[in-house]
Structure 1
Amino acid sequence: MAATTTRIIARETRDAELPKGIVHRFALTAVQDHTDLNVGFHKALKTWETSTGGELYHFPITDSPKLLEFDGDIRPYFHEDVRETLIYKHRVRLVPDLLVLTDAGVNPASSKPLQSFLTANVGRSVIIPAVQIALESLPRMFTADPAFAMTTGCCTVPNYKSGPAGKAASLNHQYGALIVEIDSDGAIFPRHVQPDETGAFQDLDRVYLSNGEVRDKERVWGISWGDLQHAFADEAIYTASFGWSPKQRRKVTDDNILDALRPYYSFLEDTNEFRLRGHHNIKDPHFRTSVLQEGTVEDEIAAAVAFVNALDRPLTETIVKESNHDLFLARWLKSPEGRIDPENAAYWHELNGVLHRSLGGKHPINIVEHAMRRAGLSDTVVYLPCGESYVVGDVENGLHGHQGLNGSNGTTTTFSKIGFKTNTGHGHAPTISGGSYRSGASCVRDRGFNVGGLTTEAPGHIVHYMTGGRALLLLQPDGRHRACGELACRSGNPRLAA
């Protein structure tokens, strides 16, 4: 008897043909066949749809591959409340740089939903319907704009086959949706949302409830900012994120993410760059000559401290997380280079004197914190030494990300395998993998020693919502983190599921 096979149907890719010059908003989520909805979450998504003028769409997932290759109407296999907005007969290209791979066919139990689809849109952004929430920055040429592969999350209850894989998947089931805003100039802004136990979810400063209510101007629990590396501050990203102009060294606007979202906790990654005497170029005579007019190590630390003090808000706890770039100061103090460095020798000897005098005691001084406090770091700013825990809700924020397991380098793969959620920085490539979220960068991409070739670096911050969910805010080069143009009217959009 011949073995039965599942034939693969070539799905058409349909251009959404969105009208230009206005904003378009979509909420995209996956639904499993023969499975009930998370009713509260689905109602909250409908609240979002009604209040924003956006459009909610559903994409099929199944553990039966034959269903997605069936050439007929598969809608009867799915919950009646999603059938009219279920897209399955064609792939959707929302804009030239964003493809929704509706027929990806990721098994609901898959723990690595992006693995086979990173190149599905030829290096441009792609969305994969899947239960697990995941995001990865895609490799590209150094000067090219960022692109991402990302999943949707789902709004159906756990329904897995028996066995170890199904039991593991049920423990890691993730309710969620991907909000996609397309600005009037075509710029893309994707953000994940996740519900609390009632189904309510927060997106930026608005909370959407299952009863149709919307709460405005809500604070967020915390923000983990993309690596700062202040000496390489990106003017547009810093201004949009904090209202701070690195060039003018002052706050220039109240229209910024920090003041809009008003986090209870503000985590600063890689605050100092330690550019002037970093190990990347300390032995480069050409570099040393080029920065002669830029001041001293002490000046660089003082500039970073002035920036941190400007971020401090009365109702926000500002936390400087000691990171690998901060620790470059301690590395420099161990090098004999400093004692014969005309511009920095006095500072090098002073800090070494403080450090050596403390080493015989029970509690040696943290020399990086000492240098920052000496430069005027506010007493209200918390300095978190490397490796100390700082938990907000159920998320560990104490790890910068440069230190991994047993002395190895840190990776999102490592952090995704531990038994608690983490927010980290360090990699400059925004990533979501299991319970591990990694922010991007707030500094410029070209930092002298890393020019050329391929990159995955991109600006981005982690937002932790009061409802418990987290999202990556992916910023455009001009600093935008959300669509800013005129809201699209629903009647102006062609129905994607038609």
Structure 2
Amino acid sequence: MSDLSHRPAEITPAEARLVVQALAQNGGNVSATARALGVTRSKVKRRLRKADAWGISAHGEIQATAARRLETGGKVRRYLLTSAQSNTGIHAGFWGNLRALADHYGAEIMVARIRYNHSEAQVAQEKVNRAAETELWYAPEVEPYLADERVEICPGLIWAGDMNILPTAVTPLSGLDSFTGTASCVFPHPQIALKSIATAPGTEAKFNYTTGAVTLKNYIKRKAGLKAEFHHAFGALLVEVTAQGIWFVRQINATDAGEIYDLNLRVDGGKVTSGHRLEVFTPGDIHGVKLDPEVAETVWGDGGMVDTLRPRHQVLNDVLNFGPRSHHNTFFDLVAALYNKADSVEDEIHDTATILNRMTRPWSKTYVVKSNHDEHLDRWVETADFRRDPFNAGFFLSAAAAKVEAIKRKDDGFDLAAWAFERAGLDPGIRFLSRHVHLEIAGVRHDQHGDLGPNGARGTAANIARTGAKANIGHSHSAAICHGCYQAGLFATLDMGYNRGPSSWSHSAILTYRNGKRAIVTLRAGLWHAWSKNQTTGRKWKSSSQN
């Protein structure tokens, strides 16, 4: 077998399989394996890395890994999923707080190991190895919680504990869209990421998640390692499953000191305290009269999500749908609006103002981010011919006159949508943001809708993340976490008429905590997380006068 050392640098699956089998025969001893094959230890390790990437075991590979199914029961089940990097110590503060949170919830902790090969000299950025490479080891604290296998947590959600993605991967979820088929999947990785994946019509969007890690930052001091160190998160993913099998996921992201927030809980120094208010609530795009009634009731109904979390700030995107006279409307859309008695622009604005008023609370500041659908009103006033639309002519002329008057008095801050909503009786406490305003709360920017990207490009979570500032955005209707950018989904109906074919849309919101850490919550079946007892039924929206 000594001719193995003379092969070209490109490693083949056969070579990787041979090394794995030899390692098993030599009791896992790398040095003995190298001697048996007549190659260096470094060559053995390179082939083992390839074997890990290809999923090659000592017994070969015949079919895709099957997932072990967890037992289901007639109660709420909770899991905390995270990862631990090889040859790296635990973050003691975070680990203690995570265990305290697990005890509070009665949650099972599941830790997947991630192998990252490096020497101590590389980590120290030394160019010469002064000592032999250390053997592979993992923090002993995580051993009782190891879950390096594929697990079906519940129908529709898989834990890929057997996946080994390099900790230095910039986009750890790339290339995994169809992994586990249509089921959503959680992958162990030190970076926190979320990707929404379009699924066939009539099915819920698929989500791929990463977890964060319980181990310290330990990377080779080169470009890839330093980038990974920057995006390394001390975190976990909390999974809740109801007795009916409905699952919910949200991110647990700790500070460098290990402090955790989850909903209205704070965990610090191993102690869990409750009653902590949310800093900012960013729901999915509203779209006014298209707001999903079940979502509205769940979130803003009496005793709903907002009343439970009591956010100090609410930041709303795309509050106006502008369906009657959208520039996207076809001739037949206009005919349908006519026969459905839904072709009045002023009526839609009035109905939307009523909806927004029901969202307000006296203990929370509400902001409206300048969004592309709100700007449809501006475009209509600028380009439409009121003489061909007598039904809306009166409102059109009033809006145009208001715009002209603002120009005459050189009011550069005039907002036509704000004027229209104020005219319709909107709560004066709601603040409309211009495209140029800077709204930063808890170290996160909340003033971008997400439709405008850098240098005139169309906005995406990825290109807005590259600006370097932490940001919460909406616009795409698809939840996402890409480095420092969190993207909310949609709170309107998931069938907007124009979205045909596969869809990645979801009823998802962003929660921003006082310490600047964030989580994304997705609503399902009229719930926003798993309850240990039945929720209050028959909730009704509170009007602004009742708050």
Deviation at 1:110, TM superposition (A): 1.3
Alpha-carbon deviation of 1:263?
0.6
Q: 2:531 aligns with which of 478, 484, 489?
A: 484
TM-score, structure 2 as length reference: 0.81
Report if the CA contact (8 A) 1:280-1:449 is conserved.
no
Check conservation: 1:76, 1:83, Cα contact below 8 A. Answer: no
Which structure has more helix as a fraction of its residues? 2
| Structure 1 residue 82 displacement after superposition | 0.4
Q: 1:469 aligns with which of 517, 521, 526?
A: 517
Check the 8 A contact 2:478/2:504 in 1, yes or no.
Answer: yes
Q: Shift in Å at residue 339 of structure 1?
A: 3.3
The Cα of 1:14 is off from its aligned counterpart by 3.9
Query: CA 1:26–1:416 in 2, change beyond 3 Å: closer, same or farther?
Result: same
Q: Hey, what's the Cα distance between the residues in 1 that align with 2:283 and 2:109? A: 30
Trace 1:214-233 onto structure 2 (pairs within 5 A).
214-233=272-291
The equivalent residue for 2:211 is 152
Structure 1 ranges of 4+ moved more than 6 A: none
2:170 maps to: 111
1:128-143 correspondence runs (5 A): 128-143=187-202
Partner of 1:407: 456
- Within a 5 Å distance, the mapping from 1:27-66 to structure 2 comes to 27-64=80-117
SS at match of 2:225: helix
Superposition deviation, residue 195 in structure 1: 1.2
The match for 1:98 is 157
The aligned residue for residue 466 of structure 2 is 417
- Quick one: distance in 2 between partners of 1:197 and 1:305? 42
Deviations 1:197-244 (A, max 9, x none): 431211111112233x2111210110111000012111111111111x
Letter of the 1:204 partner, please give it: L
Give the 3-state SS of the residue equivalent to 1:140 in structure 2: coil
Secondary structure, aligned partner of 1:442: coil
Task: Give me the whole-angstrom Cα distance separating, in 1, the residues matched to 2:295 and 2:436.
Answer: 28
SS state at 2:331 partner: coil
Determine the C-alpha separation between the residues in 1 that align with 2:406 and 2:159.
58
Count of residues paired in the alignment: 463
Secondary structure of the residue aligned to 1:428 is coil
**2:299 corresponds to:** 241
Shift of 1:369: 1.1
Say whether 1:83 aligns with 2:143: yes
- For the residue of structure 2 that corresponds to 1:190, the secondary structure is strand
Deviations 1:91-121 (A, max 9, x none): 1111231111112211111111101222111
Cα separation, 1, equivalents of 2:207 and 2:503: 12
Tell me the distance in 2 between the aligned counterparts of 1:445 and 1:349: 34
In the TM superposition, 1:277-292 aligns within 5 A as 277-281=325-329, 283-284=331-332, 285-291=334-340
Aligned AA for 1:45?
L
Closer, same or farther in 2 for the Cα pair 1:95/1:205, shift >3 Å? same
Q: 2:264 aligns with which of 205, 210, 222?
A: 205
Q: How much does 1:268 deviate?
A: 0.6
Paired residue secondary structure (1:398): coil
Match of 2:226 in 1: 167
Q: Give CA deviations for 1:2-41 in whole Å, capped at 9, x if unaligned.
A: 2553331258534233223211100011110111111111
Report % sequence identity.
28
Q: Which residue of 1 aligns with 2:405?
A: 357
* Partner of residue 334 from structure 1, selected from 382, 387, 393: 382
The residue type paired with residue 395 of structure 2 is Y
Which letter maps to 1:30? S
Please report the TM-score for the alignment, with normalisation by the length of structure 1.
Answer: 0.89
Task: Say if 1:27 and 1:180, in contact at 8 Å, map to a contact too.
Answer: yes
Q: Structure 2: which amino acid aligns with 1:480? A: L
Distance in 2 (CA, whole Å) between partners of 1:479 and 1:390 is 31
Aligned to 1:432: 481
2:237 to 153, 173, 178: 178
Deviations, residues 106-165 of structure 1 (Å, cap 9, x unaligned):
111111110122211112201110011000111101221222000011111111113111
- Once the two structures are overlaid, the 10-residue window that deviates more, 303-312 or 10-19, is 10-19
- Bigger Rg over Cα: 2
Residue 179 of structure 1 and its aligned partner are, at CA, apart by 0.2
Q: Amino acid of the residue matched to residue 513 of structure 2?
A: Y
Q: CA deviation at 1:379?
A: 2.0
- 1:394 aligns to 2:447 (yes or no): no
Q: Distance in 2 between matches of 1:49 and 1:264?
A: 27
- C-alpha deviation, 1:388, in angstroms: 1.9
1:295 deviation in Å? 5.8
The answer (yes or no) to whether the contact 1:136–1:148 under 8 Å persists in 2 is yes
String of CA shifts for 1:393-427, please: whole Å, max 9, x gaps.
Answer: 21101000011111221011101211110000000
The DSSP-based 3-state class of the residue aligned with 2:141 is coil
The C-alpha deviation readout for 1:337-395, integer Å capped at 9, x for no partner, is 33321221100011101112222332242211111111122221111112422101211
Q: Tell me, in whole angstroms, the C-alpha distance in 1 between the residues paired with 2:180 and 2:386.
A: 50
Q: Which of 229, 239, 248 in structure 2 is aligned with 1:189?
A: 248
SS of equivalent to 1:358: helix
Q: Which whole-Å CA distance do the structure 2 matches of 1:127 and 1:447 have between them? A: 29
Instruction: Show structure 1 runs of 5+ residues with no match.
Output: 66-74, 244-253, 488-498
Q: CA deviation at 1:282?
A: 5.4
Matched to 2:396, the amino acid is: W
One-letter code of the match for 1:274? Answer: F
One-letter amino acid matched to 1:234: D
- 8 A Cα contact 2:68 2:152, kept in partner: yes
Alignment-derived partner of residue 354 in structure 2: 306
Q: Which has the higher contact order (CA 8 A, sep 6+)?
A: 1
CA displacement at 1:318 relative to structure 2:
0.5
Residue 22 (structure 1) aligned to one of 75, 84, 89: 75
SS at match of 2:152: strand
Query: Pairwise mapping of residues 354-393 of structure 1 onto structure 2 (< 5 A)?
Result: 354-364=402-412, 365-393=414-442
Maintained 8 Å contact 1:179/1:193: yes
Give SS of 1:298's match.
helix
Work out the CA distance in 1 between the residues paired with 2:65 and 2:504. 30
Matched, 1:319 2:367: yes
Q: Which residue of 2 is the match for residue 495 of structure 1?
A: none
Q: Following the alignment from structure 2 to structure 1, what is the Cα–Cα distance between the partners of residues 382 and 331?
A: 15
SS of the equivalent of 1:100 reads strand
- Separation in 1, partners of 2:223, 2:67: 38
**Distance apart, 1:486 and its partner CA:** 5.3
Q: How far apart are residue 58 of structure 1 and its match?
A: 0.8
Identify which of 391, 394, 402 aligns with 1:343.
391
* CA positional deviation for 1:48: 0.9
CA distance in 2: counterparts of 1:329 and 1:356, whole angstroms = 15
